[in-house]
Copies of this chain bind each other. A is one copy, B any other.
């Protein structure tokens, strides 16, 4: 079900005491035979210390383990914060090696999530690392424990997996607010036992992220810590040291990432609706994504959906702010299957639209091409305002 679904991986989730309740330190170890790694990081200029560190770690295409903590983002913490991340990797390598491994700290990726601008409690974290190593196991419950340990305001852990004939892909993710473009505020670890080159793993991950996490846009806010890491062990019993079919692998990886991205949006802070904004018949896929994202980012649209108001005027207003080329008089919009806007004007009776269910489907037909894209987003609610106005104080 999770990061331990694929062969070659063990995991742990323990309570180091970085936050007031629950597990807060997760560990995923790749015992090989391969130790390919690829990752996509936040593009935020204020990338957190663990992001700066992990970028270096994965630059040679190898990682043996990733250690992740909640209870602190270790972002905007200066050189001291970077030293904390470095010390975490060193401690993990030492602890793994004391248990018989041969791991270099420079092959340990680190992820952190929580409040920005505060140092981590290293006195709690470092002993927790040893505890996590002691708890390592390839069992399903260890994967679940790891998924629990990375939660912040998530209401439940998020895992996914998919098995094919000669490989399995598994993963876990966290992220509940600051779900954004160019990536949600999120951490995700994907594991696979496929036999695959690092270059192919990297390309497949980028494509999967483009179509999944990068199309989840809860509140338009990008974080300093976003990281998706994929590790490949090549340990599948049927793999026979033969490279995986790339098309099959891409499909499985994208499916797992989409599954996790959907779970993030379904559990976004304070949201009452999960909204699929699909734009069809756009000039290009990028155009379709641009139009869907413009709607997904409109606070007026998002509050309307919260109020169960199929306000197509606000949808068109948002579509019209883009520079995508289309004829305004040929745009149709359906909400939950009712075409309430036809030809850029009044369509079917809006009272036919039922917005009482959690999922809302907005379909925008630009009639200007053949491309499509969907952005997943949420409504803007009182609970969102409440949770985010009271979070850090």
**Residues in A lying within 8 Å of B, measured CB to CB:** 43-47, 73, 75-78, 115-118, 177-178, 180, 182, 219-224, 297-300, 303-304, 306-309, 311-314, 316-322, 326, 328-329, 341, 343-346, 380-382, 384-386, 388-393
Q: Chain B residues near A316: list those with CB within 8 A.
A: 46, 76, 116-117, 224
Pair A307/B393 contact, Cβ less than 8 Å: yes
Q: Chain B residues near A321: list those with CB within 8 A.
A: 43-45, 180, 182, 222
A169 → chain B, closest Cβ, in Å?
Answer: 30
Q: Given A117-B341, A300-B221, A307-B389, A320–B45 Cβ distance below 8 Å?
A: yes
Q: Chain B residues near A221: list those with CB within 8 A.
A: 298-300, 314, 317-318
Pair B312/A117 contact, Cβ less than 8 Å: yes
Q: Chain B residues near A388: list those with CB within 8 A.
A: 299-300, 303-304, 307
Identity of the chain B residue whose Cβ is nearest the Cβ of A324 in the assembled complex: B45
Identity of the chain B residue whose Cβ is nearest the Cβ of A307 in the assembled complex: B389
Subset of 13 A-B contacts with CB under 8 Å: A43-B321, A44-B320, A45-B320, A46-B319, A78-B343, A116-B314, A220-B298, A221-B317, A224-B320, A308-B393, A309-B391, A384-B385, A385-B385
Q: Given A309-B389, A313-B75, A392-B311, A346–B117 Cβ distance below 8 Å?
A: yes
Complex Cα–Cα for A223 and B318 (A): 8
Identity of the chain B residue whose Cβ is nearest the Cβ of A117 in the assembled complex: B313
Q: Chain B residues near A317: list those with CB within 8 A.
A: 44, 46, 116, 178, 221-224
Pair A313/B45 contact, Cβ less than 8 Å: no
Q: Given A77-B345, A220-B299, A328–B45 Cβ distance below 8 Å?
A: yes
Pair A219/B345 contact, Cβ less than 8 Å: no
Q: Chain B residues near A345: list those with CB within 8 A.
A: 76-78, 117
* Residue picked from A220, A345, A389, most chain B C-beta under 10 Å: A389
Pair A303/B224 contact, Cβ less than 8 Å: no
Q: Chain B residues near A43: list those with CB within 8 A.
A: 321
A390 → chain B, closest Cβ, in Å?
Answer: 5
Q: Chain B residues near A306: list those with CB within 8 A.
A: 385, 389
Complex Cα–Cα for A118 and B340 (A): 12
Complex Cα–Cα for A180 and B313 (A): 16
Pair B344/A299 contact, Cβ less than 8 Å: no
Pair A382/B382 contact, Cβ less than 8 Å: yes
Q: Chain B residues near A312: list those with CB within 8 A.
A: 76, 117
Complex Cα–Cα for A389 and B180 (A): 23
Given contacts A45-B319, A384-B385, 12 further A-B contacts (CB under 8 A): A44-B321, A77-B345, A78-B345, A116-B313, A116-B317, A117-B312, A117-B316, A220-B297, A221-B298, A303-B389, A306-B385, A307-B393
Identity of the chain B residue whose Cβ is nearest the Cβ of A178 in the assembled complex: B300
A291 → chain B, closest Cβ, in Å?
Answer: 10
Partner of A46 from B46, B344, B384 at Cβ < 8 Å: B344
